[in-house]
Amino acid sequence: MIASGTTSPAVLEQLQRRSADPKRRIVFTGATVVTMDPRTGVLHDADLLVEGDEITAIGPGLCRDGAVVVDVTGMILSPGFVDTHRHAWETQLRRIMPDVDDLGAYVMSTLAGHATVYRPTDMYTGTKLAALTAIDGGITCMLDFSHNSRTPEHSDAAVQALIDTGIRGVHASMGPHFGHWDKQWPGDLVRLMDTYFSGDDDLLTLRLAALATDETAGPALAYGPELARTAKELGIGVSVDAVFGASSLKAIGHWAKDGILGADVTLIHATGLTREAWRAIGESGTTIALAPTSDAQIGLESAVPAIDEALSVGVRPGLSIDVEVALASDMFTQMRALHAIQRMRAVNAGYVTGQQPARITTHDVLDFATLQGARTNGLADVTGSLTVGKKADLLVIAAEDLNNMPLNDAVGTVVLGSDARNIQAVLINGDVRKWNGQVLGVDLPALRDEVHASRAHVLQIPAV
Check pLDDT > 50 for residue 51: yes
Do the strands 6-7 and 2-3 form a parallel or antiparallel pair, or are they unpaired? Answer: antiparallel
What are all long-range contacts of 249-254, with beta carbons under 8 Å and residues at least 24 apart?
249/273, 249/274, 249/277, 250/213, 251/212, 251/213, 251/222, 251/223, 252/277, 252/280, 252/281, 253/277, 253/280, 254/224
The pLDDT of residue 13 is: 83
Check pLDDT > 70 for residue 3: no
The pLDDT of residue 4 is: 34
Is 158 in a helix, a strand, or coil?
helix
Calculate ∠ Cα 343-266-323, nearest 5°: 70
Domains defined for the chain, CATH in brackets? 2-80+384-439 (2.30.40.10), 81-376 (3.20.20.140)
Residues 224-253: what's their mean pLDDT? Answer: 97
Residues 344-355: what's their mean pLDDT? Answer: 86
Backbone dihedral angles phi then psi of residue 84, each to the nearest 5 degrees: -95, 5
The pLDDT of residue 7 is: 56
Give the pLDDT confidence of 58-93 residue by residue, as tens digits.
999 999 999 999 999 999 999 999 999 999 999 999
DSSP string, 369-393: HTHHHHHHTT-TTTSSS--TTSB--
Which residues have a Cβ under 8 Å from the Cβ of 380 and sit 6 or more positions away? 371, 374
Check pLDDT > 60 for residue 262: yes
Calculate ∠ Cα 246-300-96, nearest 5°: 145
pTM, to two decimals: 0.96
Q: Percent of the chain scored above 70 by pLDDT?
A: 98
Check pLDDT > 80 for residue 354: no
Give the pLDDT confidence of 421-456 residue by residue, as tens digits.
999 999 999 999 999 999 999 999 999 999 999 999
Give the pLDDT confidence of 275-301 residue by residue, as tens digits.
999 999 999 999 999 999 999 999 999
Check pLDDT > 60 for residue 5: no
